[in-house]
């Protein structure tokens, strides 16, 4: 089954937050509140990667985070859409020169889309996820 086919239905998202300031994670929680209501798009946060169609990654990867990210990707059902959000998730952001920065997520697993911002607003998170769903459906 292709990514396009799996994304033709509501997508379930697993959030992996690695090391950083965690403001991105607060914005994601905000996106789930009734004000922004992420679930109206059929996008639901789930507690297990084994139930997910999409892996949402925030924060920088240190060595421990990189190992966990690779493990999560390996055990996830495929196809799996991978989206990073925040500058940290895309490139390391403010922490690029940090002693424990391992590298961006796309050095560890394949990434389909990046949502920029530090932190991205809930509108940007919703926009980014909806865009990646549309993009993958057109593949
Ligand atoms: S991108 Fe900015 S807000 Fe998000 S975790 Fe990194 S430093 Fe914090």
Task: Compute CA 134 distance to the chain's CA centroid, rounded to the nearest angstrom.
Answer: 16
Asked if the peptide bond before residue 25 counts as cis, ω within 30 degrees of 0, the response is no
**What is the per-residue pLDDT for 129?**
80
Q: For residue 84, what are its two tokens?
A: 């990073």
The pLDDT, as a whole number, for residue 7 is 55
CATH of region 3-137: 3.40.50.12280
Question: What beta strand segments (E) does 18-134 contain?
Answer: 44-45, 54-58, 81-85, 113-115
Domain boundaries, the chain: 3-137
Residue in this structure with the two tokens 């895309």, named with its chain if needed = 90
- Print pLDDT tens along the chain (139 aa): 565 555 567 888 999 998 878 899 899 889 888 898 888 888 889 999 999 988 999 988 999 999 999 999 999 998 888 999 899 888 888 888 999 999 889 999 999 889 989 999 999 988 888 777 776 676 5
Ligand 1, atom 3, lies closest to the CA of 119
Sign, CA dihedral 139-25-106-1, equals negative
- What per-residue confidence (pLDDT) applies to 4? 57
Distance 26 CA to ligand 1 centre (A): 10
Q: Name the maximum alpha-carbon separation found in the chain.
A: 42
Q: What is the CA(24)–ligand 1 centre distance, in A?
A: 6
Nearest atom within ligand 1 for CA of residue 117: 1
Q: In what order do the strands lie in the sheet with 44-45?
A: 44-45, 12-17, 54-58, 81-85, 113-115
Q: What is the pLDDT of residue 78?
A: 87
Residue with tokens 């060595």: 63
Could you tell me the distance, in angstroms and rounded to a whole number, from the CA of residue 38 to the centre of ligand 1?
20
The rounded Å distance from CA 91 to ligand 1 centre is 11
Distance CA 27, CA 62 (A): 22
Q: Whose CA is nearest to atom 8 of ligand 1?
A: 21
Distance, in Å, from the CA atom of 46 to the CA atom of 25, rounded to the nearest integer, reads 15
Which residues line the pocket of ligand 1, CB cutoff 6 A?
Answer: 20-24, 58-59, 86-88, 93-94, 118-119
CA distance 27 to 129: 14
């Amino acid at each position: 089954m292709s990514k396009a086919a799996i994304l033709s239905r509501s997508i379930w998202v697993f959030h992996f937050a690695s090391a950083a300031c965690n403001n991105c994670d607060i914005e994601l929680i905000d996106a789930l509140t009734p004000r922004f209501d992420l679930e109206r798009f059929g996008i639901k946060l789930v507690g297990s990667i084994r139930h997910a169609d999409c892996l949402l990654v925030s924060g920088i990867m240190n060595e421990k985070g990189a190992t966990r990210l690779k493990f999560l990707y390996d055990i996830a059902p495929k196809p799996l859409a991978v989206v990073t959000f925040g500058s940290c998730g895309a490139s390391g952001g403010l922490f690029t020169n940090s002693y424990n920065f391992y590298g961006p997520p796309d050095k560890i697993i394949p990434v389909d889309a990046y949502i920029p911002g530090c932190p991205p607003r809930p509108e940007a998170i919703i926009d980014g996820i909806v865009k990646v769903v549309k993009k993958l459906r057109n593949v």
